[in-house]
Amino acid sequence: MKKLFILSAVALAGLTSCNDLLDKSPLDTFTNTSAYWSNTSNVDNQCNTFYNQYSGYGNGGGQGWFYYKTLSDDQVDYQDNNWTNLNTPSTSSNWSTPFTEIRRAAYIIQGVSGSSLTEKEKNNYIGIARLNRAWQYYQLVRMYGDVPWVETVLDPNDKDVLYGPRTDRDQVMDKVLEDLDFAAANITGTNKQRFSADMALAMKADVTLYEGTYCRYRTAADNVGKGPDEARAKKYLQECVSACEALMAKKYSLNSSYQGNYNSVDLSSNPEMIFYKPYSQNSLMHSTIGYTANTSGTSGMTKDAFDAYLFIDGKPRATTSEDINDAVAPDADGKINIESILAKRDKRLAVTLDPVLAFKGSAYSRAGVSPFTSSTGYGIAKYDNPTALSLSDRNNIGKQYTDCPLYWISVVYLNFAEAKAELGTLSQGDLDKSVNLLMARAGLPGMTTSPAADPANNMGVSNLLWEIRRQRRCELMFDNWTRYWDLVRWHKLDLLDSKNHPNIYKGANLSLLSNPEVDVAADGYMIGSNTINQPRTYDKKYYFYPIPSGQITLNPQLTQNPGW
């Protein structure tokens, strides 16, 4: 029987004050005593609330981490393609929610430390709390840069902390690493649906790769005075390698099916999974599949992303010996079947997209669902499962129950290869036990440490790093908002400027279609829905979110990020 993530409104459910660091009445559902914290059931309930922050595919009709996060060069949203913030908000859950959970962690650490539990039990629960404090601070630093560091339960009289300045983001990330190391050393559970030491290592691999590359590529002009820091970059990249090696030495291995990682109703036996979110029919369900077949429109893949996939000879579009023509004439019913195009590419592409284009005037029905259209013509089939789910389940919002991967070994392989390449220590053997395993599953020849140049390389990095970044993009397409944060840490957010990079707003080739009902560029490629009147212009200020104005009103020492 499947266990479910605990989605409950237990103690410490929210803040009642206007200040996200201050709540004068925090203990509204229990008595804060040593006896309370000495009861493992009580502490479990407190820790279980952290699972609410791992949305996965979402809950009910709500959005999750996969498919919906469309701000990147991988997707065109069928409605809104602009930056997350165009103006400074007065409040934001991106700021408030992490501090709620940070405060929850502080209460658990304080309460458990003074309990009568054994040292092993205490360290396990403190490890879970520190893991989740690290996760929340990682989100805050990525979005806002410098943020206040709080590691204790605050008293309303702690004015220096409550109304103090932001803490240097490098110092905060050093604390995050300390928390993750403690969690990896002390969490005792092994259930893949629960927090574990392996999950802490996987999170550490993600966080340290981000920090190492961010500190290498950041510039003083665009990152609030902080330029590159090579010593720091190398330290964090080596921490990433160590975390990956620890996981790669364990029992995890690739699943035979790439798509099976995303559309399975039971991931419990999947050898790739380190941590996943289980769903159950009529109990906890999501809407990710339903939104990929939304009759109001779906968010399709860009031409830029499509062109990133290698051909079956292992070469990119510019140098392949395969036929690169991607224009297909409509059939007798006016449909454009692209199976022959997909068959020439990386196998991941064919299971990520629908085999028939879907656009205004030519809707497509995937395995019986209601006909839908895509913003770029390319429909997203990656998450669907017509075999395991009924047509009704797939056709309706809030009715899907496929499990969601959160941390899995293929991501660890990608992190490992990239970190070692950045350190200049990546060997052929390293490639063969990481990225080349993913390429073999995708039907591609393996990579060498000296790949040929691709004229499309617009990142100013070596051929090796370009190809590793390509594999990351294709393996994790539409996953967990990965691409956006990759562009941030590589200092390549300017690639999201639609004027300078028009292929991020284009879609499928419709040059052989007469009188289409959609906008088509001079080169025959579909112009993404709603993009003509939504030019996305890069500004360096977008490397950071704006601090909510209401928080600065409460605490002027917070100060605003540049440009906002």
> What pLDDT is stored for residue 283 in this prediction?
94
Whether residue 169 has pLDDT greater than 80: yes
As a whole number, the mean pLDDT across the chain is 93
Residue 136 has pLDDT above 60, yes or no: yes
Indicate whether 27 pLDDT > 80: no
pLDDT value, residue 25: 37
CA separation for the pair 77, 71 (Å, rounded): 8
State the pLDDT at residue 21: 42
d(CA 147, CA 333): 57
Q: Does residue 564 carry a pLDDT above 70?
A: yes
Indicate whether 15 pLDDT > 80.
Answer: no
CB proximity list for 478: less than 8 A, separation 6 or greater: 66, 67, 74, 75, 352, 380, 382
Query: How far from 483 is each of 79, 184, 303, 359, 559, CA to CA, in Å?
Result: 19, 26, 15, 25, 29
* 372 domain-assigned: no
Whether 499 is covered by a domain: the verdict is: no
Q: How far, CA to CA in Å, does 57 sit from each of 68, 69, 366, 369, 458?
A: 9, 11, 20, 19, 32
Question: Which has more confidence, 512 or 481?
Answer: 512
Q: What is the pLDDT of residue 423?
A: 98
Write phi, then psi, for 329 (nearest 5 degrees): -75, 145
Task: Give dist(CA 550, CA 560) in Å, integer.
Answer: 11
Write down the pLDDT at residue 159: 57
CA distance 419 to 240: 7
Model confidence pLDDT, tens digit, residues 497-548: 999 999 999 999 999 999 999 999 999 999 999 999 999 999 999 999 999 9
Segments forming the whole domain that contains residue 125: 1-50+93-186
Query: What's the confidence (pLDDT) of residue 154?
Result: 78
By percentage, how much of the chain surpasses pLDDT 70? 93
275 membership: H or E segment, kind and range? strand 273-277
Residue 201 has pLDDT above 80, yes or no: yes
Q: Which two tokens stand for residue 328?
A: 């297909």
Looking at the structure of the chain, the number of domains it has is 1
Residue 55 lies in a domain: no
User: Residue 264: its pLDDT value, please?
Assistant: 98
Contacts 24+ apart (CB under 8 A), 470-474: 470/308, 470/310, 470/316, 471/414, 471/417, 471/435, 471/438, 471/439, 471/447, 472/414, 472/418, 473/74, 473/305, 473/308, 474/308, 474/309, 474/310, 474/346, 474/348, 474/349, 474/442
For residue 218, tell me if it sits in a domain: no
Give the chain's length.
Answer: 564
Please tell me the distance from the alpha carbon of residue 421 to that of residue 508, in angstroms, as a whole number: 33
Domain assignment present for residue 128? The answer is yes
Q: What is the rounded average pLDDT of the residues 244-264?
A: 98
Cα–Cα distances in Å, from 278 out to 258, 403, 408? 18, 5, 14
- In the block, tokens 């995050």 appear at 176
Confidence of residue 29 (pLDDT cuts 50, 70, 90): low
Q: In this model, does residue 451 exceed pLDDT 70?
A: yes
- Counting residues of the chain whose pLDDT is more than 90, the rounded percentage is 91
Residues 438 and 475: beta-carbon distance below 8 Å: yes
Helices (H), 2-118: 34-37, 40-48, 93-113
Q: Average pLDDT, stretch 421-447?
A: 98
Average pLDDT over residues 352-358: 98
Task: Specify if 322 maps to a domain.
Answer: no
Question: What does the pLDDT read at residue 523?
Answer: 97
519-536 core/surface letters (b: 16 or more CB in 10 A; e: else): ebbeeebbbbbbbeebeb
| CA dist., res. 58 & res. 286, Å (int) | 5
Please answer whether residues 461 and 469 qualify as being in contact, where contact means their C-beta atoms are separated by less than 8 angstroms. Answer: yes
Whole-angstrom Cα distance, residue 140 to residue 487? 17
CATH code, 163:
1.25.40.890
pLDDT reported for residue 163 = 77
pLDDT band at 150, cuts 50/70/90? Answer: very high
- What pLDDT band is residue 22 in, cutting at 50, 70 and 90? very low
281-300 per-position pLDDT tens digit: 999 999 999 999 999 999 99
Does the structure show a pLDDT above 50 at 11? no
Look at residue 77 and tell me whether its pLDDT is greater than 90. yes
On whether residue 120 sits in a domain, the answer given is yes
Close Cβ partners of 7 (under 8 Å, ≥ 6 residues apart):
51, 52, 59, 284
* Across 160-171, average pLDDT: 86
316 part of a folded domain: no
